[in-house]
Amino acid sequence: RPALVWLRRDLRLADQAAFAEAASAGPVIPVFVLDDETPKHRKMGGASRWWLHHSLASLDADLRKIGSRLVLRRGVAAEVLADLARETDAAAIHCLHHYEPWWRNAEKALKTALPEGCSLEKHHGNYLMPPGSVTTGSGQPYKIYTPFWRALAQHMPPAKPLPAPKALDAPKAWPDSDDLADWKLLPTKPDWATGFASEWTPGEAGAADRVDAFLAKAKHYEDRRNLPSIEGTSRLSPHLHFGEISPATVWHATIEAGGSVETFLKELVWRDYGQNVIAQYPDYGKANARDAFDDFPWRDPSDAQVKAEIEAWEQGRTGYPLVDAGMRQLWATGWMHNRVRMVAASFLIKHLLVDWRVGERWFWDTLVDADYGSNATNWQWTSGSGVDSNMFVRIMAPLTQSEKFDAAGYIREWVPELASLSDKEIHDPEAAGKFVKGYPKKIIGHKQARERALAAHATTKS
C-alpha cells in the first residue's frame, strides 16, 4: 500500500522527514492541497501565491527526476486528503508539523476523517527545535526571545540533515492531479510581479544557491546586516518560509563555513521564536497580547483622510525617503530589508497612528516571505502590544535611521526621483530645501507625529 506525503510549507526533498519515512515503507504519493477553505484558514497573500506557483513547479520537476511526481488537489485539506487516502488505499499520511492555527485545526480534522487502516504520521524538521519544546525551569514555554535563544542554544547543533531520497517508488497508478496553471496563482492583469522573477528563484535549488552566495560573505553579516544599501543579509526568508531548505541545513552550513556567525544564527532563531509564540497564542496575528492595547485610540482606517494616508504608506509616498524606498522595494520585489521593515512598521503605527493589524495584513499580502508567526511577532514587537516587545513610547525617527544606516544608495535605487540629491540631502529633501517634482511633502512632521503618538499613548494603560 502507498503512503501519501502531505506537503505544505516544506517544499523540499532534502532533510524532509516525511519523505524519508514514507520512502522507507513503500510507494509514495506526494500531494499538495491548495486550501483556502479550512475553517479560520488565512488565505495566502498575492506575493506568496506567486512564490508558491514556482516552488510547486520546481518540486514537481525535482520529483520527476527521481521517478515520482506531485499530485495537486484543491479544497478543505482534511476532506481532500481523506478522500485521496481512500482512493489510493494509502496506509499512512506523512507530513511535517505546522503550527499555524488553521493547520492544527486541519490536522485534527484529518485524524478523525481518515479511513480505517490509514494513520497520520507527523514529523519534525521545519524548526531548529519543535515549538513549545524549549521550556523554562518550571516547564513553561518561553515568551521572551533572549532567554528562549539562550535555552535553545543549549540544544544546538540540530541533528545532521537527512539526505534527499535518490529514488521514490511510484504507486501502481497515479491519482489525478489538478493542472497548476488552473489554480491561477500568478497575477495577470495587471502583472504586478514582473520584478519578482529577476530577484528570486523559488525552489530547492534556488535556496541552495542563496545559501552558497551568503556563506561567501557571511563574515561581514554582523557589520552589514543593518545597511540597506548593501546586500548584507542572506535573503533566505522566503526559501525558509516555504521550507525549500531546512533551518538545520542552514545552521550546519553556516557553522561549517566558519567565522563569527553567532549574530546570524541568533536571527535564524527569531524564526523559531515566532512559531514558539503562535503555538502558545494562536490568535497572535489578530489579537493584542497585552489587553491594555485593546483600548488604544488608533485613528479610524475607514476615515477618508486616514485611508489616504494608509494608501500613501502602501505606495511609498509618505515624503519620508527611507520609508518610501522600503515600501516600494516591497511592492516591486516582495521583500524588504529588515531594518527598513522596522522603520516602515513603526511609521505606520506611531507616525500615522494606525493599528498594527492594518500593516500586518498589507505585509501578509505583499511579502514573499509572509509568515504568520514571524510577521505577527514583529508587528506586535514594534507596536508594543506583544508578549516580547519594544515599548510604544520608543518612537523610531525615520530620518535619523536613514542617516545612521547610510541608506542613500538604497533610496536612490527605490525612489529614483531623488537620485540626483547628494548623500546629505537625500534623507530629508524638505529640510535641505530641495523640492523634487513628483515627490510628496512629508505626510506629517516628525515632531508633530511623535507628540500625537505620545499623547494618544498617555490616554491608555498600555
Instruction: Please give the residue ranges that form the binding site for ligand FAD (CB under 6 A).
Output: 225, 233-237, 240-241, 267-268, 270-271, 274, 338, 341-342, 345, 363, 367, 369-371, 374-375, 378-379, 382
Nearer to ligand FAD, 234 or 385 (CB): 234
Distance in Å, CB of 313 to ligand FAD, minimum = 13
Task: List helix spans (H) across 114-193.
Answer: 145-153
Nearer to ligand FAD, 30 or 373 (CB): 373
Distance in Å, CB of 225 to ligand FAD, minimum = 5
Distance in Å, CB of 208 to ligand FAD, minimum = 14
* Cα dist from 358 to 171, 304, 383, 407, whole Å: 47, 15, 12, 26
Neighbours of 118 (CB within 10 A): 21
Nearest by Cα to 192 from 322, 325, 45? 45
Rounded Cα distance between 294 and 264, Å, is 35
Distance in Å, CB of 372 to ligand FAD, minimum = 8
DSSP codes, 435-454: --TTPPPPSS-HHHHHHHHH
Nearest-5° angle of CA 429, CA 350, CA 448? 55
Rounded Cα distance between 383 and 389, Å, is 7
Nearer to ligand FAD, 87 or 223 (CB): 223
Nearer to ligand FAD, 116 or 256 (CB): 256
The 3-state DSSP composition of the chain as helix, strand, coil percent (nearest 5) reads 50, 5, 45
Nearer to ligand FAD, 47 or 92 (CB): 47
Nearer to ligand FAD, 53 or 210 (CB): 210
Distance in Å, CB of 346 to ligand FAD, minimum = 8
Q: Phi/psi at 282 (nearest 5 deg)? A: -60, -25
Distance in Å, CB of 268 to ligand FAD, minimum = 4
Q: Which amino acid is at 408?
A: A
Q: Which amino acid is at 124?
A: H
Tell me how far the alpha carbon of residue 189 is from its chain's centroid: 25
Rounded Cα distance between 105 and 116, Å, is 20
Rounded Cα distance between 339 and 328, Å, is 15
Distance in Å, CB of 376 to ligand FAD, minimum = 8
Neighbours of 23 (CB within 10 A): 22
Nearer to ligand FAD, 23 or 207 (CB): 207
* Grid cell at residue 219: 563574515
Nearer to ligand FAD, 125 or 429 (CB): 125
Nearer to ligand FAD, 22 or 322 (CB): 322
Distance in Å, CB of 99 to ligand FAD, minimum = 14
Distance in Å, CB of 183 to ligand FAD, minimum = 22
Render the burial of 248-257: b for 16+ CB within 10 Å, e for the rest.
Answer: bbbbbbbeee
* Grid cell at residue 66: 527521481
- The answer to whether the CB of 57 falls within 8 A of the CB of 84 is no
Distance in Å, CB of 209 to ligand FAD, minimum = 14
Nearest by Cα to 77 from 109, 117, 42, 49? 109
Residues contacting residue 448 through CB under 8 Å, at least 6 positions apart: none
Nearer to ligand FAD, 237 or 401 (CB): 237
Nearer to ligand FAD, 72 or 349 (CB): 349
Distance in Å, CB of 441 to ligand FAD, minimum = 25
Nearest-5° angle of CA 409, CA 415, CA 416? 85
Distance in Å, CB of 274 to ligand FAD, minimum = 5
Rounded Cα distance between 109 and 3, Å, is 19
Nearer to ligand FAD, 88 or 296 (CB): 296
Rounded Cα distance between 356 and 335, Å, is 19
